[in-house]
Structure 1
Amino acid sequence: MSSKTVLITGSSAGGIGHALALAFQKHGATVFATARSISKMQDLASLPNVHLLALDVTSPASIAAAAKEVEAKTGGKLDVLINNAGVQYVMPALDVDIEKARDVFEANYWGPLRMIQAFKQMLVKAKGTIVNVGSAAGIFYVPFQSQYNASKAAINQYSETLRMELAPLNVKVVTLVAGNVSSNMVNNAPPPTQLPEHSFYKPIEKEIAKEEAFTNMSTSKFAEEVASEVLNGASGRVFKGANSGVVKWLIPFLPQWIFDKLVVANGRGLGKMPKLS
């Protein structure tokens, strides 16, 4: 059983972070489950060795307050930091609202950077592990979610660079390349896609608004596999979730025209888009 301390961002019920909190607690870790609203993870409050903290990864003040509380409870050490909080945004690239796009990067990219800098002393002291939840979307460019794809590509690259830089400090970094996992992340996304009246993609607006038809791995299975890998000393890119094996072993070797064909076939109706004459 583990006696490690673990902090997880984005732990609202129904999501990956919540399942990770349950998995690490099951393995005996002391878990700091965080979310913007404590009420959204209240079911975790009765579990032994689980502490609930209000935390908004887009707010430096909120992060600083959480870091101070964790430091007081752990004696200044944190074994595992899991940067899971994130948001989705579905919109054709030509129609992206810049402010909403900024919000995506604030949560998905700048949030983890803020967290790592705020907790770096505790992580180095513990010779700990940072887990950055990236995505297969950072490799497999799904149409109509360019900003999400870009934010996850950014965190994937940042995370692997960070791994090399932190090796001399005895801190491991896991880049968790997540495939398809059941999650409530869509609840944190901007309102359902409504295209601007001038959009070229109006003919397929209803198709764009549909959820992807990929098979998902359950959050509990995903979380258990991740917890086991992290507690066993994982480092570097770890592929988990439905279809992650395809992204790891097949996509890098496919000719671009085949890759593009697969993407269009599964890309929220892009294949149904009438071509301009």
Structure 2
Amino acid sequence: MGPRPGQKTVLITGCTPGGIGHALAMEFHAKGVHVIATARNTAVLSEMADLGMSTLALDVTKTDSIRACHAEVGKITGGKLDFLVNNAGRTHTHPATDIDLDDVRETFETNVFGVMAMCAAFADQLIAAKGLIINIASLAAITPYVFGSVYCATKGAVVSYSRTLRLELKPFGVRVMVAMTGTVRSQIASKTHRTLPPDSIYQRVKEIFEKRLTFSQNNATVDTGDYARRLVAKALAPEWPLILRSWFGRPDWFWAGGWSKITWTGSWLGEWVFDVVMYRLIGINKLEQVLKQEAAQKKLN
């Protein structure tokens, strides 16, 4: 079932049930937008198809998959796409000194190169509709999220890329919104569970690392549906002049999720605030104490 004449359309990546993409699909659908939901395995999207959404297979790390998806979306929408939501993502929690570069490359393929590839591939359809790109970033882009250096780097890249993309597409009437997402209930922390290698310098505080693995799901975590309702409301808001967008229209920057308000406020005070807070919030300051105790013990011996 395709869109009705005049009905707006949205393509969302990473719509597996339980995550942000799925919640966004359900909310856009509830607001009368024709949803094109995607996932690597379309079997998980069967209930969404039953609701009348279009469902397509898509792996944002594969050029052929993106090309095939682009062709199918063109058939569904008639060559126009009102919204592209780049949501597909991969978590990566590991100390910077313990990373495996092949693993890092996989995370960048999904979180960064996948976003770039989707924007490039669907630019023609977005230009035809004077549409809106929504790139799901994270507060991790501007905070030193301890044991998340790789994830922070990918989201920081998405933020910088989006800022420039916004100016490049402005002459064509295409807008770019960056979602600075805080802690939101999702399935992301349950995937790609990592462990510390036996020789890690952080074995001394292994319990802190293990707690950090699920931090986003246990600290001021916002309900996925609430997050989706706020984002979709902003996406569907009318256009306002630049200086008024953040309050009344579709903003360039969307801040929501746990810790988003305090992070936005802290961003005006300087990065030292984040350094102090995150150092203690995650508990890495305890490592200092452990190292001092070890040094004292060596002196005694």
Which TM-score band applies after superposition, normalised by the shorter structure?
A: over 0.9
Q: Out of 29, 36, 40, which is 1:36 matched to?
A: 40
Conserved? CA contact 2:60–2:114, under 8 Å = yes
| Separation of aligned partners in 1, 2:280 and 2:48 | 40
Determine helix, strand or coil for the equivalent of 2:107: helix
TM-score, structure 2 length as denominator? 0.87
Q: Tell me the residue number matched to 2:252.
A: 236
**CA distance 1:42–1:142, change in 2 (3 Å):** same
State the partner residue of 2:176.
Answer: 173
1:245: which partner in 2? 261
How far apart are 1:266 and its partner, in Å? 1.8
Contact 2:19/2:185 (CA < 8 Å) preserved in 1? yes
Contact residue 16 and residue 22 of structure 2 kept, 8 A: yes
1:139 aligns with one of 136, 142, 152: 142
Q: Deviations over 1:103-133 (max 9, x none)?
A: 1110000001000111110000000000000
Structure 1 alignment gaps of length 5 or more: none
Secondary structure, in 3 states, of the residue corresponding to 1:78? coil
Give the equivalent residue in structure 2 for 1:206.
Answer: 207
User: Given residue 202 of structure 1, which amino acid in structure 2 is its aligned partner?
Assistant: Q
Report if the CA contact (8 A) 1:109-1:152 is conserved. yes
One-letter code aligned to 2:166: R
Give the aligned CA root-mean-square deviation in angstroms: 1.4
CA distance 1:170–1:66, change in 2 (3 Å): same
Alignment of 1:251-266 (within 5 A): 251-254=267-270, 256=272, 258-266=273-281
Q: Contact 2:16/2:45 (CA < 8 Å) preserved in 1?
A: yes
The one-character-per-residue Cα deviations of 1:123-180 (angstroms, maximum 9, x if unpaired) are 0000000000000010111100100001001101111111111111100000111111
Show the counterpart of 1:220. 225
2:121 is the alignment partner of 1:107: no
SS state at 1:223 partner: helix
Q: What amino acid does structure 2 have at the position aligned with 1:187?
A: S
- Assess if the C-alpha contact under 8 Å between 2:179 and 2:253 holds in 1: yes
8 Å CA contact 1:174, 1:237 repeated in 2: yes
Work out whether residues 172 and 235 of structure 1, in 8 Å CA contact, stay in contact via their aligned partners in 2: no
User: Which moved further from structure 2: 243-252 or 217-226?
Assistant: 243-252
Decide whether aligned partners of structure 1 residues 205 and 220 sit closer, same or farther in structure 2, where only a CA change above 3 A counts: same
How far off its partner does 1:40 sit? 2.2
- Corresponding residue number in structure 2 for 1:53: 56
Q: CA deviation at 1:95?
A: 0.6
Higher mean C-alpha displacement, 136-145 vs 201-210: 201-210
How far has the Cα of 1:237 moved from its partner?
1.2
> Secondary structure of the equivalent of 1:266?
helix
Deviation of 1:255 (Å): 6.5
Question: Which has the larger helix fraction?
Answer: 2
Contact 2:144–2:275 at 8 Å: present in 1 too?
no
- Size of the alignment, in residue pairs? 271
- Using the alignment, how far apart are the partners of 1:187 and 1:53 within structure 2? 24
- Give me the whole-angstrom Cα distance separating, in 2, the residues matched to 1:70 and 1:226: 23
| Residue 271, structure 1, aligned to residue 252, structure 2 | no
- CA–CA separation in structure 1 for the residues paired with 2:125 and 2:262: 36
Separation (CA, whole Å) in 2 of partners of 1:68 and 1:76: 9
1:71-110 to structure 2, matched below 5 A, reads: 71-110=74-113
Is the partner of 2:92 in helix, strand or coil? Answer: coil
Query: Among 145, 151, 156, which residue is 2:154 paired with?
Result: 151
What SS does the aligned partner of 1:45 have? helix
1:53 Cα offset (Å): 0.7
